């Protein structure tokens, strides 16, 4: 390193804790007097600033150590580095082992052999969407997993969201009438694939937010469950209301078509249709959501507008 001072080009050299400005033209003479003993490495350097402990080494990297109380952060570090945890012969099902390992090494001054393990286990730097979600939620239990029917229901109730199909990489065919023709099986496959693959992607907070919001199961599977909290006309004390609805819709073509295979007539026929439709599973086919549900709400729920 060099700088101008008092009209001379000088070199800064370091010796026994002091900094010296040495004129360039005197360097050969100084070298003869012993500069070579400390070598070029003695010139202005930061050797004395080397982190003393593993803790200092990590903090000097600009990293934040996971605190003792941040259980979810320990879980995320373990989930992302299970192979390393097992290599260190620690229990990957509990956080105490990894926490103890970090504590035992953080104040060590001999840390060269463990610093890379510490970078993975002891600091807050998740690498994947999965790890970030574990930090936020303590695990992946809130997310969809395994059951395709749950993925179907979640898809059905989210397919209308703007940009959803583009996000999951599914393109419905468009008919001549301009309407989308959705293949529920293929759409669900695309949705499930997106949710699963997104967990392994590098952290992006927008993606983390989308996965947490979209890849969660609905709390219902049947039409009846969806209408929980509503007063149903199939209840024994709702016969009068059931009769009123029946009288309004009994001549509607759509209604007579729907009950064509039901032997009971009058309001009892409507009641039987309601009971049957209330137990329909949304995962069965798209029509349960798009056609059956609106009819059930209109015909079988107290206070609804009866249309067909």
- What residue segments make up the domains of the chain, in order of their start? 2-49, 54-125, 148-214, 223-300
Binned at pLDDT 50, 70 and 90, residue 2 comes out as very low
Q: pLDDT category, 47, cuts 50, 70, 90?
A: low
CA distance 208 to 169: 17
Convert the pLDDT of each residue in 223-264 to its tens digit.
999 999 999 999 999 999 999 999 999 999 999 999 988 877
Report the percent of the chain where pLDDT is more than 90: 77
Q: Residue 301 pLDDT > 90, yes or no?
A: yes
C-alpha–C-alpha distance, residues 52 and 54, integer Å:
7
Q: Which residue has the higher pLDDT, 177 or 156?
A: 156
Average pLDDT, the chain: 87
Return the DSSP state at 63. Answer: P
pTM of the model: 0.79
- Asked whether the predicted pLDDT for residue 6 surpasses 90, the reply is no
Question: How far is the C-alpha of 302 from the C-alpha of 6, rounded, in Å?
Answer: 95
pLDDT tens readout for residues 79-89:
999 999 999 99
């Amino acid at each position: 390193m060099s700088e101008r001072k008092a009209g001379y080009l000088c070199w800064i050299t370091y010796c026994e804790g002091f900094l010296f400005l040495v004129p360039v033209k005197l360097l050969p003479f100084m070298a003869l007097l012993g500069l070579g003993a400390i070598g070029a490495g003695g010139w202005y350097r930061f050797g004395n600033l080397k982190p003393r402990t593993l803790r200092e080494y990590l903090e000097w990297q600009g990293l934040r150590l996971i605190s003792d109380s941040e259980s979810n952060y320990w879980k995320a570090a373990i989930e992302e580095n299970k192979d390393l945890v097992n290599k260190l012969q620690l229990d990957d099902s509990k956080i105490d082992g990894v926490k103890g390992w970090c504590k035992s090494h953080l104040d060590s001054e001999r840390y060269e052999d463990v610093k890379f393990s510490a970078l993975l286990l002891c600091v807050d730097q998740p690498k994947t969407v999965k790890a970030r979600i574990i930090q936020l939620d303590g695990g992946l239990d809130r997310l969809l997993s395994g059951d395709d029917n749950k993925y179907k229901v979640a898809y059905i109730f989210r397919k209308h969201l703007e940009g959803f199909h583009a996000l999951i990489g599914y393109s419905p065919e468009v008919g001549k009438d301009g309407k989308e023709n959705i293949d529920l099986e293929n759409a669900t496959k695309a949705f499930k694939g997106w949710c699963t693959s997104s967990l392994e992607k590098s952290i992006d907070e927008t993606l983390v937010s989308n996965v947490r919001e979209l890849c969660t199961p609905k709390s219902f599977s049947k039409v009846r469950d969806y209408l929980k909290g509503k007063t149903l006309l199939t209840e024994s004390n709702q016969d009068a209301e059931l009769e009123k609805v029946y009288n309004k819709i009994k001549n509607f073509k759509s209604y007579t078509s729907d009950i064509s295979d039901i032997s009971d007539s009058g309001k009892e026929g409507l009641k039987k249709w309601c009971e049957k439709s209330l137990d329909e599973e949304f995962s069965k086919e798209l029509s349960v959501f798009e056609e059956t549900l609106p009819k059930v709400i209109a015909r079988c729920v107290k206070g609804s507008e009866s249309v067909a």
